[in-house]
Amino acid sequence: MNVLSTYLSRFYKFFGGEIFVLPSRTTALLLCLFLLIFPLTSPNDFTLRVLIIASIYAIFAASWDLLSGFTGQINFGHAVFFGVAAYTAGLLNYNLGLAPWATIPIGALAAVLMGLIIGIPCLRLRGTYLAFATLAFPLILLGIIQAIPNITYGELGIPRVDPLAGSRVAIYYIVFPSMIVLGFIMWKIADSKIGLIFHAIREDEVTARASGINTTRYKLLAFCLSGLFAGIAGGLYAHFVNAGPSTLELLLSFQVIIWAVFGGIATIYGPIAGVFILYPLQKIVLTRYLGVPAELTMLIFAFIVLIVLLFMPQGLITWLRDKTEKICPRCKLQNVATRSKCRVCTAELD
């Protein structure tokens, strides 16, 4: 009994001192709890499908942010990681009969290898040159897929891939918690020493190199980490939707940038929130209930992103956080905007 009370006390102190003290963390916790119990309250298969795909895309968007948002290595061909993992997982499952728990990690490793293949020749490129160089890789892979249809099954994609589980609710409870765990891991990476080095490379690579940082190694690490998480997302997608040319489309690479910019780059949680706002808005509200054509929805999203860039250049979620919280000038911790002193070091807040 004493052990239980000790753990409950620690649990209460953690949530009281780390979660409930900030509006952003409290909101995130409540939304996660709501989405965790949502399948138990709504049997709507279409809504569950949208949320499952949104969870997969959220991992994908956060992986782009880990590379492009934190290091400044703008990647216009991020779908190549997603597609390589999807095809690897799908082909292994269809041809060899491997279970999803085996094909998804192998697909993620294939995406890491692709990260090395892309990263090594692109390390000397910056800015526009890097962006257009990365744009070429999905096009090259699409050409290879169409050139060898006997292996890749051409434009139709892999005919049949085993699902992650037997029911849509079970799949939801695999994918959504995976998104939370992987998002948290990426956030911790970004908040670690590695994340600080990524920031330094983005702000001024020459100065970072002059200070003794091996920028080449860390940029390559960023490509590999981004490929790993994007590969997991691609493997999940292959076992839920399909593994076909759509996983390599340029539109997917540009969509991930839209989600990240809308939510707020260099945050990890911004792109995740961006996906969960924009994707259900597109599929449920605009397409299903209002009947807006797919082409017009992209125009609407482009207008939304333009508004965000004009009035909230750091992204919607970052803008909302800055309106409700402020950073202590001494210890750099977040505090509620209404506080006059820091909750930890008691320094005066502006």
282 within a domain of the structure (yes/no): no
Same domain, 203 and 337: no
The crossing angle, in degrees rounded to 10, of helices 250-263 and 294-311 is 40
Tokens standing for residue 292? 């807006």
For residue 85, give its domain range: 44-249
Same domain, 112 and 240: yes
Nearest to 276 by CA among 29, 40, 53: 53
- Whether 65 and 306 have beta carbons less than 8 Å apart is answered as no
Q: Which of 229, 249, 269 is the endpoint of a domain?
A: 249
Give the per-residue pLDDT at 122: 84
φ, ψ of residue 335 to 5 degrees: the values are -135, 155
- Whether 135 and 252 have beta carbons less than 8 Å apart is answered as no
Q: Which of 207, 224, 249 is the endpoint of a domain?
A: 249
Most confident of the ranges 41-45, 157-161, 270-274? 270-274
- Whether 205 and 215 have beta carbons less than 8 Å apart is answered as yes
Per-residue pLDDT band for 196 (boundaries 50, 70, 90) equals very high
What does the alpha-carbon distance between residue 172 and residue 53 come to, in Å, rounded to a whole number? 9
What does the alpha-carbon distance between residue 119 and residue 134 come to, in Å, rounded to a whole number? 9
Lowest mean pLDDT among 68-77, 285-294, 315-324: 285-294
φ, ψ of residue 348 to 5 degrees: the values are -70, 135
How many percent of the chain have pLDDT more than 90? 57
Residues 37-53: tens digit of each pLDDT? 999 887 688 999 999 99
294 within a domain of the structure (yes/no): no
293 within a domain of the structure (yes/no): no
Residue 83 scores a pLDDT above 90: yes
* Rg from Cα positions in the chain: 21
What does the alpha-carbon distance between residue 345 and residue 331 come to, in Å, rounded to a whole number? 7
Q: Classify 114 as helix, strand or coil.
A: helix
Tokens standing for residue 295? 């082409």
The stretch 221-246 carries a mean pLDDT of: 95
213 within a domain of the structure (yes/no): yes
> What is the sign, positive or negative, of the torsion defined by CA atoms of 133, 134, 137, 142?
negative
Domain count, the chain: 2
- Helix or strand (DSSP H, E) at 274: helix 269-280
Give the per-residue pLDDT at 275: 96
The stretch 7-13 carries a mean pLDDT of: 67
Residue 307 scores a pLDDT above 80: yes
How many percent of the chain have pLDDT more than 70? 95
User: Tell me, what amino acid is at 333?
Assistant: L
- Average pLDDT value over all residues in the chain: 89
The stretch 189-210 carries a mean pLDDT of: 92
215 within a domain of the structure (yes/no): yes
- Whether 165 and 174 have beta carbons less than 8 Å apart is answered as yes
The stretch 86-99 carries a mean pLDDT of: 95
Tokens standing for residue 226? 């981004």
Residues 104-152: tens digit of each pLDDT? 999 999 999 999 999 888 877 877 888 888 999 999 999 999 899 999 9
The stretch 209-218 carries a mean pLDDT of: 92
Q: What is the pTM of this model?
A: 0.94
